[in-house]
Amino acid sequence: MLEPNQIAATQAVPSSMPEVWLLSTPVGFEEFFRKSFRELVRTAMYAGAKCQEAEDAAAKTLMEMLPDWDTFDRPLAYGRTAVVHNFIKAKTRGTPRLARRLIERGHVSCQEGAEDSQLTAWEDGEWVTDVLSVLPPAQREVMELIVKGLDHGEIAETLGKTKEAIRRHLCDARAPSQAEAREPSEMRYRSARAST
């Protein structure tokens, strides 16, 4: 696997700045662009960016520096800091977040691949049912009512048992259900097959 500095070195530095930038390029900026582009890409990659993400962050940083070019005392130091910030902003405020907001506000319909809250709730319920399936019936009943949001008194009243019995069932059910919840599904499948 290549290191970020090796990958950045293989990337072609654009021979010239984008045409849109050429309209009012200050003195020294084009030279800085050519000399620092790879360095900024490398810096973003050390921060965790993939090659394309690093190039996008470097281009965004240079584009942001262009209007204020004459104010920078140490442009490369500023650029290194800014490229990491731009990469992080793109990761945290990127396309998925924008798409989610557009869907929430009704500007865009929910498309294939978008999260469906009803499906997620159903899947969560199925997972809980699967985890609780290893418990004896009395413990499973109590845990299912806990999942539904009932307190100990309501559970005792619903099942016709004492609060102490409910506490005992909860204590007995916690350890196996926690172990089951932590165990990956493949391991459960293997252990179930091995026991048959």
Q: How many domains does the chain have?
A: 2
What CATH number has the domain bearing residue 162?
A: 1.10.10.10
Report if residue 109 sits inside a domain. Answer: no
Query: CA–CA distance from 165 to each of 135, 144, 150, 172, 174 (Å)?
Result: 16, 15, 15, 11, 14
| Shared domain check, 91 and 8 | yes
| Shared domain check, 89 and 130 | no
| Shared domain check, 127 and 54 | no
- Write out residues in the chain with pLDDT < 50, as ranges: 1-2, 7-8, 184-189, 196
| Shared domain check, 75 and 21 | yes
Nearest to 157 by CA among 171, 142, 176: 142
pLDDT at 116: 57
pLDDT at 77: 92
Q: What is the pLDDT of residues 89-132, one digit of tens each?
A: 887 765 666 667 777 777 666 655 555 565 566 666 676 677 77
Both tokens of 93, joined, read: 């405020």
Phi and psi angles of residue 145, each rounded to the nearest 5 degrees, phi first: -70, -30
Nearest to 179 by CA among 191, 167, 163: 191
Q: What is the pTM of this model?
A: 0.42
pLDDT at 42: 93
What DSSP line would sit under 39-69, residue for residue? HHHHHHHHTT--HHHHHHHHHHHHHHHGGGG
| Shared domain check, 16 and 51 | yes
| Shared domain check, 168 and 84 | no
Report if residue 74 sits inside a domain. Answer: yes
Domain residues for 184?
Answer: 117-195
pLDDT at 49: 86
Report if residue 136 sits inside a domain. Answer: yes
**Helix axis angle, 117-132 to 137-147, nearest 10°:** 150
| Shared domain check, 55 and 19 | yes
pLDDT at 188: 47
Which of 38, 65, 97 is the last residue before a domain boundary?
Answer: 97
| Shared domain check, 151 and 76 | no
| Shared domain check, 53 and 132 | no
User: Are 55 and 42 spatial neighbours (Cβ–Cβ below 8 Å)?
Assistant: no
Report if residue 84 sits inside a domain. Answer: yes
pLDDT at 76: 92
Report if residue 106 sits inside a domain. Answer: no
Report if residue 139 sits inside a domain. Answer: yes
Report if residue 104 sits inside a domain. Answer: no
